[in-house]
Structure 1
Amino acid sequence: MDIALAVLALALIFVHLLSIALTAIRVKPTTRRGSEPQTQPPVSLVIPLRGVENFTALTIPRAFQLDWPNYEIIFCVADSTDAVIPHVRSNIAAFPHIRASLLVGDDRISANPKLNNCVKGWRAATSEWVILADSNVLMPDHYIATLMSAWRKDSGLVCSPPLGSRPADLGSELECTFLNTFQCRYQYAAETLGQGFAQGKTMLWNKPLLDSLGGIEALGAEIAEDAAATKLVRASGRHVHLAPAPFEQPLGTRSFAEVWSRQARWARLRRVTFPQFFAPEILVGGIPPLFLALAAALLAGADGKTLVAVMVAVLGLYYLPELALAKLKGWHVSWTSFPAMIMRDALLPLIWARSWMGSSVSWRGNMMTVGTQESTLSG
């Protein structure tokens, strides 16, 4: 039994290290520009907004400063009283050389409020290439060029997961460990193995292609538009590809409750939309291999010093390569990253268990009820 437990612990550590190696090979440093696309067609940038966030004053102007010869920006707001509207209008006035517009209204085609907010922008887009981008993405000047260069002959969609940056407290440090060396890592590793998953933070679509597959309304087939996009693209025989490097999402301050709520919501959505991939998530993180290794040592009759040595070895083997990955790629690393990673992994089993309880999630004041067959929205 002790040998079996030790083998299982080593297997989990191997999968962890493999995902780090695959990500290290696949992802370019965030400061490096991707290869320039062969052509530079017009692009429509559709940005849904709701409320003023920590870095709204920084992220909105970035959309007007992209190194691309021909693009338009379409800002979408559902509520005419939204406090973000003056920020949008002031930036449109400050950059008169960029074609930009603000559309206000709500098209309730689904239970997903963000998707509903994007519909009017999609319909108004004048280009064959459309980027749906969350308002809290900190776009580098090569944002469009990097996405366009990642499109391949067999692509159905190009995405980028968010890269947490600029944390201001322990809560945002914790969220960085969730976003960067956990979720971003596994997403790039999966794509490297031919199992790309869409990420709604940034999505580059070929508009005629998506329209031929049912249009933006088809993304309402699932409670999460990225899950619907993944299934739609795969069903068409194409692939979801990722940008060479993830784009920043500056965080600022985050309370523990905010981090828990967001991660629990995403976990529940993954459980509903991809249950076959979500179920094994109980085995990810450093806690399962640590528990298995200590159990194997105890069954083998190890003394206290040996148990401490096993614990140190497992923690070092598990977390030092993860920290090295972040450092190598220029992702956020600080003296709190190591304890934040341990805190994250201690929360993972609790988040996994919580996802199986109940069927509702809250997104910016909207309560969504998720299920395997249907979803409803109230708020």
Structure 2
Amino acid sequence: MLAYGALASWAARRRESLTACSALYSPFRRLSRKRYRLRPRSPLANASASSVPGVSILRPLKGLDTNLYENLESTFTQEYPNYELLLSVADERDQALPVARELMTKYPHVNCRIVIGEEVVGVNPKVNNLVRSYREAAHDILWVIDSNVTVHPGTLARSVDALVGPPSTTPPKRRIALVHHVPFALVTEPRIGSRIEEAFLNTNHAKMYIAINTAAVDSCVMGKSNLYRRSDLERVNGSLKPIPSSNSMAQPGPCGLPAFGRFLAEDNMIAGALWHELGDRHDLACDVARNVVGNMSLSDYVLRRARWIRVRKHMVLVATLLEPFTESVVLSIICATSLGYLFAVPYWISICVHFALWVYVDLDVYASLAGHPLPSNVRWQFMSAWAARELLALPIFLFAMFGSEVEWRGRKYRVLRNGEVARAEPSGSWFQRFRVPKDYEPVDTGL
């Protein structure tokens, strides 16, 4: 009887701990389901062109990105009555140009033109490529969307809805200055790095991205697909210092897109500037930016993750240092130790329950973003990549924290303390630098 009572007591304590764990993970499921399970058609899709705000879509192109034709075509087929499409290339010999011209022939009714030639305003090649299109855009609302992203035909209309907001006699305390979309990865190449990137973007990244932007404590934006007003961007410069309380005032010195050419993560800096300098906020739209992942090796994946950790380290150090405590492996150790100490729950039970709940939430987030559960034909491949992602998270973080050089599009940069970047000078390994002869004066030995 005593044994039974002890067993019942232990079972009750375990149920309490599991209930607490479930309560910890359930908000992620609710957030993703509420926002992404239902995507209503916007009334702007059927409105007349004169009754809706005009939008200039800016797409920077460089080379033949995976699925480039379908990616670009998704902006030619937007269900929105008043937009123009500007396709930017830095070089007139770029391989993306024939694809762009073919689509212009296929959709002659779309107001589209190609802007050739970059304007170097900083070290960021994407900004350099976009500056001319930015200046030539006919409309105030800009939709900057990467060339490896495909979107639903109703995305623009719903995004403008979110940016402009419903008519109201009482203006909101903080207006919406930027609308962005959570990336959702699509894999076309079955390489291990591509699979791990897919698992990362569609589970852990999406989960944290939605949670942080729902809490709206600070700006957190990824620049795959962003809408904002050029008139707002012309008032900020990336200093993140609030503008004095006048609606028409701007920061001193250069402002607008060219001012952000000195940053590698120009997307997050633009979002941060609109947030901190103007005092406005962002909105996460109910559509996803379908990011087509190309041919990525394991080393490509590791270096990509390390690159952005190093950038974040120099921009938001405290938040970056806390990142390991949002990962499943570190949390499982903390959770198992705590439950073992407080409730005498065996470690193996805590860890098994923790990962079961973690996988359940991640797959539920995936289903909400994709619009369907994980397909059975890729289930084991996806789960293997998911496990590899979770196990690699801490080693990659530690590797990234000890270094400030990053490589992007074949060029090396050094991340500076304020989030800016500078071109890194080529250098050899530490052993080669050690072997470089010093400038000693020769000694006459008299021999």
Do they fold alike, i.e. is TM over 0.5? yes
What percentage of residue pairs aligned between the two structures are identical? 24
* Alignment counterpart, residue 145 of structure 2, candidates 115, 120, 133: 133
Q: Which residue is 1:312 aligned to?
A: 352
* Alignment counterpart, residue 291 of structure 2, candidates 233, 249, 261: 249
Instruction: Go from structure 1 to structure 2 and tell me whether the alpha carbon gap of 1:11 and 1:174 turns closer, same or farther (over 3 Å shift).
Output: farther
Q: Which residue is 2:227 aligned to?
A: 204
* Alignment counterpart, residue 349 of structure 1, candidates 386, 394, 400: 394
AA at the equivalent of 2:94:
D
AA at the equivalent of 1:155:
I
Query: Which whole-Å CA distance do the structure 2 matches of 1:89 and 1:181 have between them?
Result: 36
Tell me how far 1:134 sits from its aligned partner.
0.3
Contact 2:124 2:262 in 1 (8 A): no
Give the stretch that moved more between structures: 239-248 or 113-122: 239-248
Instruction: Go from structure 1 to structure 2 and tell me whether the alpha carbon gap of 1:350 and 1:17 turns closer, same or farther (over 3 Å shift).
Output: farther
* Alignment counterpart, residue 28 of structure 1, candidates 25, 31, 36: 36
* Alignment counterpart, residue 268 of structure 1, candidates 297, 301, 310: 310
Tell me how far 1:352 sits from its aligned partner.
1.5
Instruction: Go from structure 1 to structure 2 and tell me whether the alpha carbon gap of 1:163 and 1:52 turns closer, same or farther (over 3 Å shift).
Output: same
DSSP-derived class of the 1:244 partner: strand
Contact 2:187 2:198 in 1 (8 A): no
Q: Which residue is 2:246 aligned to?
A: none
DSSP-derived class of the 1:117 partner: helix
Query: Which whole-Å CA distance do the structure 1 matches of 2:305 and 2:352 have between them?
Result: 28
Asked which structure has the greater RCO (Cα within 8 Å, sep 6+), the reply is: 1
Structure 2 gaps of 5+ residues are 1-15, 166-171, 237-254, 426-447
**1:120 matched to 2:161:** no
Matches within 5 A, 1:66-215: 66-151=78-163, 152=165, 154-169=175-190, 170-195=192-217, 196-213=219-236, 214-215=255-256
Tell me how far 1:345 sits from its aligned partner.
1.4
Tell me how far 1:17 sits from its aligned partner.
4.1
Structure 1 gaps of 5+ residues are 1-6
DSSP-derived class of the 2:186 partner: strand
Instruction: Go from structure 1 to structure 2 and tell me whether the alpha carbon gap of 1:252 and 1:375 turns closer, same or farther (over 3 Å shift).
Output: closer
Instruction: Go from structure 1 to structure 2 and tell me whether the alpha carbon gap of 1:299 and 1:143 turns closer, same or farther (over 3 Å shift).
Output: closer
AA at the equivalent of 2:423:
L
* Alignment counterpart, residue 217 of structure 1, candidates 258, 265, 287: 258
Q: Which residue is 1:3 aligned to?
A: none
DSSP-derived class of the 1:282 partner: helix
Contact 1:34 1:149 in 2 (8 A): no
AA at the equivalent of 1:370:
V
AA at the equivalent of 1:122:
Y
Contact 2:224 2:289 in 1 (8 A): no
Q: Which residue is 1:4 aligned to?
A: none
DSSP-derived class of the 1:217 partner: helix
Tell me how far 1:35 sits from its aligned partner.
3.6
Instruction: Go from structure 1 to structure 2 and tell me whether the alpha carbon gap of 1:261 and 1:310 turns closer, same or farther (over 3 Å shift).
Output: same
Q: Which residue is 1:290 aligned to?
A: 332
Instruction: Go from structure 1 to structure 2 and tell me whether the alpha carbon gap of 1:301 and 1:72 turns closer, same or farther (over 3 Å shift).
Output: closer
**1:42 matched to 2:84:** no
TM-score computed with the length of structure 2 as normaliser: 0.75
Instruction: Go from structure 1 to structure 2 and tell me whether the alpha carbon gap of 1:188 and 1:276 turns closer, same or farther (over 3 Å shift).
Output: same
Tell me how far 1:34 sits from its aligned partner.
4.9
Give the stretch that moved more between structures: 346-355 or 47-56: 346-355
Contact 2:146 2:224 in 1 (8 A): yes
Q: CA RMSD in A?
A: 2.8
Return the index of the structure with the highest Cα Rg: 2
Instruction: Go from structure 1 to structure 2 and tell me whether the alpha carbon gap of 1:332 and 1:211 turns closer, same or farther (over 3 Å shift).
Output: farther
What does the per-residue CA deviation read over 1:107-160, in whole Å, with 9 as the maximum and x for residues that have no partner?
A: 121221111111111001011111111011112211211210111461111111
Query: Which whole-Å CA distance do the structure 2 matches of 1:283 and 1:33 have between them?
Result: 36
AA at the equivalent of 2:350:
V
Paired residues, what number?
Answer: 369
**1:231 matched to 2:272:** yes
Query: Which whole-Å CA distance do the structure 1 matches of 2:272 and 2:85 have between them?
Result: 28
Tell me how far 1:9 sits from its aligned partner.
11
